[in-house]
């Protein structure tokens, strides 16, 4: 089922990939109720479409991936001008949860400011690429706000570095985030950004989809577990993959010197 069209987000599919583009460039792709709900719907659609195996999420305009929550909307809510005061919170939570729970790989292609809830979107992605001009930050404390997924940043970079970002609200360069391991690729410009994102997506597509999804689940769930517990958790997942047709197809294709044909069963 196709997602409902909306001007604040573009959802395109081609070559087994989904392209999700935040489309509010006039406000640096700030996240309001409408765009949060659209993100949640797009990620849900991607996750349930058997023809799609990897997604790339980005922001329109080149100034920002996303500068964070729409604080004008927040102020309207605080004044009681919005009909659904909790709508913003539900919308953001839905977007974050859909991304966090998606079993398929999501690549963040970041160009420009990636701040607050915008950075939190990328925390819930699996692979992150950014242009040199990009800037990162969690400035919520400067507005007496507490980040949601942003507090998980210490799972991705050293705790002291995460606290420096959280407690000062200051911006960090893309180069520094790359040095800290938050970014997996750093590219010179927007053109190179999309080229690199597509190249990584194409490499993902060479792999067995069920194996990729199993690996993502094992790593995401087991990341904070002790090794023996992680191994115990992973064993039934490995066993399920072992019983698939694709598990036999991989070695057979290697022996026959041909590309594997994945059936996802």
| Residue found by looking up tokens 């392209």 in the block | 19
> Of residues 41, 98, 120, 196, which has the active-site annotation?
120
Phi, psi (deg, nearest 5) at residue 241: -65, -40
Selected catalytic residue, list 41, 73, 98, 140: 140
Contact present, 261 and 253 (Cβ < 8 Å): yes
Contact call for residues 131 and 190 (beta carbons, < 8 A): yes
Whole-angstrom distance, CA of residue 217 vs CA of residue 138: 27
Catalytic annotation present for 140: yes
Strands 17-22, 9-14: pairing kind: antiparallel
**Alpha-carbon distance values, 119 to 58, 65, 179, 210, 224 (Å):** 12, 9, 17, 28, 21
- Which residues are identified as catalytic? 120, 140
């Amino acid at each position: 089922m196709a997602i409902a069209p909306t001007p604040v987000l573009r959802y395109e599919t081609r070559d087994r990939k989904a392209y999700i583009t935040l489309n509010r460039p006039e406000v640096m792709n700030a996240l309001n109720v409408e765009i949060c709900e659209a993100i949640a719907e797009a990620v849900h659609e991607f996750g349930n479409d058997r023809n799609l195996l990897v997604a790339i999420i980005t922001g329109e305009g080149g100034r920002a991936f996303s500068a964070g929550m729409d604080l004008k909307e927040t102020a309207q809510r605080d004044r009681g001008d919005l009909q659904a005061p909790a709508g913003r919170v539900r919308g953001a939570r839905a977007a974050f949860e859909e991304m966090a729970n998606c079993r398929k790989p999501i690549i963040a292609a970041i160009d420009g400011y990636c701040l607050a809830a915008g950075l939190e979107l990328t925390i819930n992605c699996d692979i992150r690429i950014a242009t040199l001009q990009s800037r990162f930050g969690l400035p919520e404390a400067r507005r007496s706000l507490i980040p949601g997924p942003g507090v998980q940043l210490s799972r991705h970079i050293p705790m002291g570095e995460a606290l420096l970002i959280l407690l000062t609200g200051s911006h960090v360069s893309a180069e520094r985030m790359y040095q800290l391991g938050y970014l997996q690729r750093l590219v010179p410009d927007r053109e190179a950004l999309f080229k690199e994102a597509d190249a990584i997506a194409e490499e993902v597509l060479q792999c067995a989809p069920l194996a990729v999804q199993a690996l993502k689940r094992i790593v995401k769930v087991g990341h904070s577990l002790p090794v023996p517990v992680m191994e115990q958790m992973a064993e039934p997942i490995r066993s399920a993959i072992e019983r698939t047709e694709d598990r036999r197809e991989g070695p057979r294709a290697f022996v026959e010197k041909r590309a594997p044909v994945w059936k996802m069963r």
